[in-house]
Amino acid sequence: MGYGLPAAIGACKGNNNNPVICIEGDGSIMMNLQELETVKGNNLPIKIILINNQGYLSIKLTQNSFFKGNEFAAGPKSGVTFPSFKKISNAFNIKYISVSNNNEVDSKLKKMMELEGPCIMELFTHPLEKHEPKVTPKGIDKNGKIIPGSLTDMTITETF
């Protein structure tokens, strides 16, 4: 978490400043938000697709699976909030595009790729949108330890 933006900067610089697409979650980008100045200051053609699911989705999904929706430090329900990424984009003078439904994705993605320099395209998704397929834990043992799932079994299971 937090690796996407710095990795995109390295990939862009290492490839003679050719365009790079960075797909990053809202929680993840907060860990290296200052690197937006590196992107803008060097006019790197990095296209950031920011998935806004209102928090730390992996943590929310895990807590929902094991603790019946009792959320802690994962999203607005538990006190974790994020700033307006449109305002953040403006503060760094980076072009901004917003996508709020599936019908807009193709046209806005095309628009983003045609723009010169850096751009942030914010995709608003459901705060509990599931990632599938994924390795799903098999449960919790008698000592409260998570029983990990297998990489060879990425089927969806019910909550515990």
149, 65 Cβ separation under 8 angstroms: no
Do both 44 and 108 map to the same domain? yes
Do both 96 and 145 map to the same domain? no
The predicted structure's pLDDT at residue 160:
41
Residue 68, domain extent: 4-129
And the tokens for 53? 């699911």
Residue 80 belongs to domain with CATH number: 3.40.50.970
Do both 67 and 32 map to the same domain? yes
The predicted structure's pLDDT at residue 154:
59
Do both 89 and 39 map to the same domain? yes
Do both 148 and 76 map to the same domain? no
- The structure's pTM equals 0.79
**Per-residue confidence in pLDDT tens, the chain, 160 aa:** 889 999 999 999 999 999 999 999 998 899 999 999 999 999 999 999 999 988 777 777 777 777 777 777 767 777 778 899 999 999 999 999 999 889 999 999 999 999 999 999 999 987 667 666 666 677 788 888 878 777 666 555 554 4
The predicted structure's pLDDT at residue 22:
97
Contacts 24+ apart (CB under 8 A), 15-21: 17/42, 17/44, 17/45, 18/45, 19/45, 19/46, 19/47, 19/113, 20/44, 20/45, 20/46, 20/47, 21/46, 21/47, 21/49
Do both 55 and 113 map to the same domain? yes
Question: Domains in the chain: how many in total?
Answer: 2
